[in-house]
Structure 1
């Protein structure tokens, strides 16, 4: 009898799913527990077409009771090694590596639509963007969107930005930008050199680098999904800290991360632990003390970790208006990249400069473009005020200075 049951448990249905996949997807925790405790089903059996294991179906459908059952079964089997996780996910690993190789090939012919379709098949985490979200409603969206959908589209914008940079698709990247503020070819070449020589992202002989960056971008905002975070990181409010906890305690629910080589798993783990808001730095909202964590990252992990972290910030910013359109990067215009470049250049000074000197170097660069001097504490305050007001030229700088001078002493 038991042998007959075991055989039936290993028969795929028309959708390429085993009974355990179906039960996990439907949220039937009792059935999952019975199949596993009786030894009738394989916890790590992959779906025929997607390569997903039961845990991924449960996570994608926010089936908390099933997630608990499957994670407990995994713990009873013993803690997986990193290598063990990779071996168990061959289909997803092969898909990720092939996508990266295709992007880096000289004759890459992938269209945006083809890339998006393959990304959805390659990174199961993209299906987790559903349910409640911490996302602030995006007023830039062309239509009213669910908060989780906004975050999903931003994530797709970030993934597409990685694709456009790594495949050297300048025209695709800038196609929807205003002609008078379109990212210049000169700055695009700067991005290409940075991606190749500093981030080391576009070497055809190292497709794992692109795969890892795509993996990170596919999951880096999952902590904003309240249901996902509360199920797997209860008590965490910060989305990065929550995701970091999940990577530490329940990495099996993030298959793309699990299948990466150790080097890139550690880069992702390190990046998530950097408590630093680069956007606030670019607007001079934060203080020199806020740079401490970046300096610690550089000191402990080296240039590769800083480059990986900063490129992920670039891709995230480039895709931030994805809720409005995924036809190119609406955000990363000439003005915005020039500002990003200043932040990038000054943070790299941390290898040999103090936090205060690094912060001052950024303010000086911003002050120069605003036509504002940098000599006294008052000058610092005026430049910071102009940065917070998103002033990028001398005309705006004069307006801020005039407004300041009209204030009562």
Structure 2
């Protein structure tokens, strides 16, 4: 493992040699990743070349491929392999050379030696272990606590605290401490969820205790960029398919927001709304009408456009038409809940994996079929979202953020054959169990930690 963490070796070794060393060094972690869940674009077909997991294990394992493509993406960045990095990205949204250079400079600034590389590589290799259901069940057997309803980042952080991830305990003490802080940041805050407006403004509150360890936050940001770079690695392992220009610009904006929030120079809603303003500007530059983040109707629509990763005017028009066609009571619910910041007086819901649900709902419909068919599918998805976002109980004076994870709904309903035939099946689907992820006590503890 020591050789892996030497920059001169890591960045110059032959790809096959590097993959074999990763297989040996992270054997238990890769075995867990073989069991981890993933979400596929059902219309995609993979390259004809052998995937990393086919090379190592003779078969395709989605999360193994995603993880290893993230590792390879780090090499493409360092070695200035722009053409490989952008590969088969669609030309209309392809990452620009200028933005690629921004990534290269940021990685070089924050990965300055073997210690940083050890933390980063380990973070990449273990990032998705929480997607293996047996990790939560093993944790319950070990501790008696059921964490299966937590998000996969929180599951991983708790498992690491119980020394259930072998590779971490082989790190040097300072490296291990830095990695634990990285995982703690990830368990409390997710850059991707901010970029997609999936979380709520109050989620930014959880970043403030990390003002005294900014280097760790930067390492986590680099890991998050690489995670996105490998996000489609189970469908195309030849490039960083998902890290396209609009998404990376969202990452850069989010990075600036996080830094300014941590420093206390930016308010939570003001920071959060910069993500929405970016989406509005992106679409307006392409001909879509101007949207005002200060208007509740426009702001709610912008959150939906972010969650749907909408970057083209025609798709934005579909979302807008569908949103305005909802029953008055459903629209009122979405207007209220999508504009909730999260407080003890008005808790907010984080609909985890809702971006995947919206994307799958629209894109599971054959492109050759008419607008109205896609609109009906999105209509059912938004009606379901309204139910997910609704909190029936009165505020308890402590809860600020509630998380509801719709992953099982994506896998079992939206990706199922019945949804294409009758999208309304989604409207009666169960609302997932809720998990409280931010409370008044958490903020008080954070404030005390800064005193």
Q: Same fold (TM over 0.5)?
A: yes
Residue 107 (structure 2) pairs with residue 195 (structure 1): yes
Shift of residue 368, structure 1, vs aligned partner: 1.5
C-alpha distance in 1 between matches for 2:32 and 2:175: 23
Residues 1:166 and 1:124: Cα distance change in structure 2 (over 3 Å): farther
Q: Please say if 1:363 is aligned against 2:276.
A: yes
Please report how far the alpha carbon of residue 191 of structure 1 lies from its aligned counterpart in structure 2 after TM superposition: 0.4
Q: Which of 234, 243, 259 is matched with 1:332 structurally? A: 243
How many Å apart are 1:160 and its aligned residue? 1.4
Q: For the Cα contact (< 8 Å) 2:34–2:63, is it kept in 1?
A: no
Query: 380, 386, 404: which is aligned to 2:305?
Result: 386
**What whole-Å deviation, never above 9, does each CA across 1:66-122 have from its counterpart, x for those lacking one?**
xxxxxxxxxxxxxxxxxxxxxxxxxx3x22333x33235xxx3x3433332232233
Q: Aligned pair 1:117/2:20, yes or no?
A: yes
Q: Equivalents in 2 of 1:229, 1:399: separation in Å?
A: 39
1:137 deviates by 5.7
Are the equivalent residues in 2 in contact too, given 1:125–1:219 (CA < 8 A)? no
Aligned to 2:207, what secondary structure does the other structure show?
helix
Q: Secondary structure at the match of 1:208?
A: helix
CA distance in 2, matches of 1:233, 1:142: 37
Q: Is the 1:221–1:240 Cα contact (8 Å) retained in structure 2?
A: yes
- Per the alignment, do residues 327 and 112 of structure 1 end up closer, same or farther by CA in structure 2, a change over 3 Å counting? farther
Deviations 1:214-272 (A, max 9, x none): 11111121222223442345432133333223322225x513x2232333322321232
Q: Return closer, same or farther for 1:169/1:137 CA change in 2, 3 Å cut-off.
A: closer
Distance in 2 separating the partners of 1:164 and 1:242: 30
Select between 377-386 and 392-401 the one with higher mean Cα deviation. Answer: 392-401
- Pick the aligned partner of 2:221 from 291, 306, 310: 310
Structure of greater Rg:
1
Query: What is the CA-CA distance between 1:138 and the residue it aligns to?
Result: 6.1
8 Å contact kept, 2:5–2:118: yes
SS of the residue aligned with 2:4?
helix
Distance in 2, matches of 1:229 and 1:312, equals 23
For the Cα contact (< 8 Å) 2:71–2:121, is it kept in 1? yes
Provide the C-alpha distance between the structure 1 equivalents of 2:102 and 2:268, rounded to a whole number of angstroms.
25
* Cα contact 2:40–2:235 (8 A) shared by 1: no
The answer to whether 1:269 aligns with 2:188 is no
- Contact 1:229/1:236 (8 A) holds in 2: yes
- Find the partner of 1:157 among 62, 69, 73: 69
Alpha-carbon RMSD across the aligned residues, in angstroms, is 3.0
Question: Residues 335 and 164 (structure 1 numbering): CA distance in 2 closer, same or farther, change over 3 Å?
Answer: same
Q: How much does 1:283 deviate?
A: 1.9
Aligned to 1:16: none
Aligned to 1:30: none
Give yes or no for contact 1:229–1:242 (8 Å, CA) kept in 2: yes
Give deviations 1:28-58, integer Å, cap 9, x for gaps.
Answer: xxxxxxxxxxxxxxxxxxxxxxxxxxxxxxx
Closer, same or farther in 2 for the Cα pair 1:227/1:158, shift >3 Å? same
Q: Give 1:345 shift.
A: 2.8
- Greater mean alpha carbon deviation, residues 127-136 or residues 278-287: 127-136
Mapped to 2, the partners of 1:230 and 1:208 lie a distance apart of: 32
Task: Write the distance in 2 (CA, Å) between the matches of 1:280 and 1:359.
Answer: 11
Using the TM superposition, give the Cα deviation of residue 131 of structure 1 relative to its aligned residue in structure 2, in angstroms: 6.4
2:3 — aligned with what?
95
For residue 69 of structure 2, give the secondary structure of its aligned residue in structure 1.
helix
Secondary structure class of the residue paired with 1:209: helix
Give the match for residue 292 of structure 1: 205
* Residues 392/295 of structure 1: CA separation in 2 closer, same or farther (3 Å cut): farther
Indicate conservation of the 8 Å contact 2:33/2:132, yes or no: yes
Q: 1:279 to 1:148 in 2, by over 3 A?
A: farther
Q: Tell me, yes or no, if the aligned pair for 1:138 and 1:150 is still in contact at 8 Å.
A: no
Distance 1:233 1:210, change over 3 A: farther
Q: Determine the C-alpha separation between the residues in 1 that align with 2:155 and 2:297.
A: 39
**Number of positions where the alignment pairs a residue of Structure 1 with one of Structure 2:** 302
How far off is 1:181 after superposition? 3.1
What's the offset of the Cα at 1:185? 0.8
Shift of 1:357: 1.4
Q: Secondary structure at the match of 1:96?
A: coil
Question: How high is the TM-score relative to the length of structure 2?
Answer: 0.60
Other-structure match for 1:44: none
Residue of structure 2 equivalent to 1:373: 291
CA distance in structure 2 between the partners assigned to 1:148 and 1:270 by the alignment: 32
